[in-house]
């Protein structure tokens, strides 16, 4: 990064900056822990003759050491091949009518807020608004160190129970939305995509976009016929850039399919995942008649549902990663 002309190629420079951030997240906690241990040794030497004089400082340092050890333990749980990569998150409304569309948009806001708390960058690549309220589907890229490693815990069906704001009789309604998470792959990872297997459609971008966006067919929708995977992008004004982004998402999803060698894994990620409805949820969010958010895989729960919807997802992510780590040990 210190070389002359480093920033003359912005795209290449950004790749290097991202790698640097990922390496920093591995090295910094270890170096910080070593500094704290050294501080503890110095305190022990200073307190050799008068232990009471350094007792409070030693207790404080010990607490910081334990905290850093917890951070390192969490880092060890992010040891998957693609865990350090960016994440591509696709949300889709399921059973529940207008409430489901609104619920999908609430989940979209939740992940955007979570990403902001992590200092990650969010880019919206596709957004299909529902007729009355909320969204039919949306795809976002979340860029930051270990974004995929953390967000893979969120893949599955999410269930909401609340008094419907769209029901004139104020009845309690249950609605569902699905979340799909795949890693954003580097360009040097080869995935065979045959041109004849692709159906490419162009359309006008939706939403407010000025004079250009809604008058030209710059948006792209690509269907991979053998797998049935559909990706779209309408974030850019250029059809070429939208196509590149859509192909990047398609490559990531196809790679995920190829990695799932066993039929059971394949069904888990795509084929027989089940409908976005009763019996398939990974997490329930209850707003009425009581407040509770519970992950049905790990039993992690909290009564602060609004906090979760504001992006406080770390307890659920940590619980899932610990569960997976324990499964590997067994």
- In this structure, the number of other CB atoms found within 10 A of the CB of residue 125 comes to 22
Measured CA to CA, the distance from residue 177 to residue 286 in angstroms comes to: 14
Measured CA to CA, the distance from residue 139 to residue 165 in angstroms comes to: 25
pLDDT of residue 215: 55
Read off the pLDDT of residues 260-290 as tens digits, 9 standing for 90 and up.
644 444 444 444 445 555 667 899 999 988 9
Average pLDDT over residues 202-226: 69
pLDDT of residue 21: 82
Average pLDDT over residues 170-177: 91
pLDDT of residue 131: 86
Percentage of the chain modeled with pLDDT above 70:
88
How would residue 196 be classed by pLDDT, with cut points 50, 70 and 90? confident
| Residues paired with 198 in a beta bridge | 224
Chain center to CA of 65: 29
pLDDT of residue 235: 77
Angle between helices 314-329 and 51-76 (to 10 degrees): 70
Q: Would you state the structure tokens that stand for residue 40, as one six-digit string?
A: 């503890």
Q: Could you give the residue ranges of the DSSP H alpha helices within 178-274?
A: 210-213, 239-259, 263-269
pLDDT of residue 236: 77
Read off the pLDDT of residues 50-86 as tens digits, 9 standing for 90 and up.
888 889 999 999 999 998 888 788 778 888 888 988 9
Tell whether the model's pLDDT for residue 43 goes beyond 80.
Answer: yes
**φ and ψ of 124, to 5 deg:** -85, 125
pLDDT of residue 187: 62
Read off the pLDDT of residues 93-135 as tens digits, 9 standing for 90 and up.
998 889 999 999 999 999 999 999 999 999 998 888 988 889 9
Read off the pLDDT of residues 130-166 as tens digits, 9 standing for 90 and up.
888 899 999 999 998 899 999 999 999 999 999 999 8
Residue closest to 24 by CA, chosen among 90, 113, 154, 119: 119
Arithmetic mean of pLDDT over the chain: 85
Average pLDDT over residues 288-296: 93
Tell whether the model's pLDDT for residue 5 goes beyond 60.
Answer: yes
Write the CB contacts of 146 (distance below 8 Å, at least 6 apart in sequence). 22, 25, 78, 83, 84
Positions of E strands within the chain: 87-93, 121-129, 135-143, 156-163, 172-183, 198-203, 219-224, 229-233, 281-286, 292-295, 301-302
Measured CA to CA, the distance from residue 58 to residue 39 in angstroms comes to: 9
């Amino acid at each position: 990064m210190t070389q002359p002309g480093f920033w003359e190629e912005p795209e290449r420079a950004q790749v290097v900056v991202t790698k640097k951030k990922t390496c920093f997240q591995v090295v910094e906690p270890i170096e910080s822990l070593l500094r704290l241990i050294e501080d503890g040794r110095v305190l022990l030497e200073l307190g050799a003759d008068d232990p009471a004089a350094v007792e409070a400082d030693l207790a404080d340092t010990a607490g910081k050491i334990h905290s850093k050890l917890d951070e390192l333990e969490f880092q060890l749980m992010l040891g998957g091949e693609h865990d350090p990569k960016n994440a591509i998150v696709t949300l889709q409304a399921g059973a529940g009518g207008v409430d489901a569309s609104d619920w999908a948009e609430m989940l979209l806001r939740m992940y955007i807020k979570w990403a902001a708390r992590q200092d990650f960058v969010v880019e919206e690549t596709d957004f299909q608004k529902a007729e009355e309220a909320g969204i039919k589907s949306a795809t976002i890229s979340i860029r930051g160190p270990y974004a995929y490693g953390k967000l893979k815990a969120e893949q599955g069906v999410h269930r909401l129970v609340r008094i419907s704001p769209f029901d004139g009789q104020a009845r309690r309604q249950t609605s569902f939305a699905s979340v799909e998470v795949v890693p954003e792959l580097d360009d040097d990872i080869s995935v065979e995509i045959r041109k004849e297997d692709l159906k490419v459609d162009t359309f006008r971008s939706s939403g407010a976009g000025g004079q250009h966006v809604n008058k030209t067919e710059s948006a792209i929708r690509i269907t991979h016929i053998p797998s049935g995977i559909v990706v779209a992008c309408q974030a850019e004004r250029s059809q070429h850039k939208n196509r590149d982004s859509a192909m990047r998402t398609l490559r990531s999803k196809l790679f995920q399919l190829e990695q799932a060698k066993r039929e059971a894994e394949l069904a888990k990620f795509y084929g027989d995942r089940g409908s976005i409805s009763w019996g398939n949820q990974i997490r329930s969010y209850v707003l009425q008649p009581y407040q509770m958010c519970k992950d049905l895989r790990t039993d992690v729960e909290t009564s602060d549902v609004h906090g979760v919807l504001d992006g406080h997802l770390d307890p659920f992510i940590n619980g899932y990663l610990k569960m997976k780590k324990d499964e590997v040990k067994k």
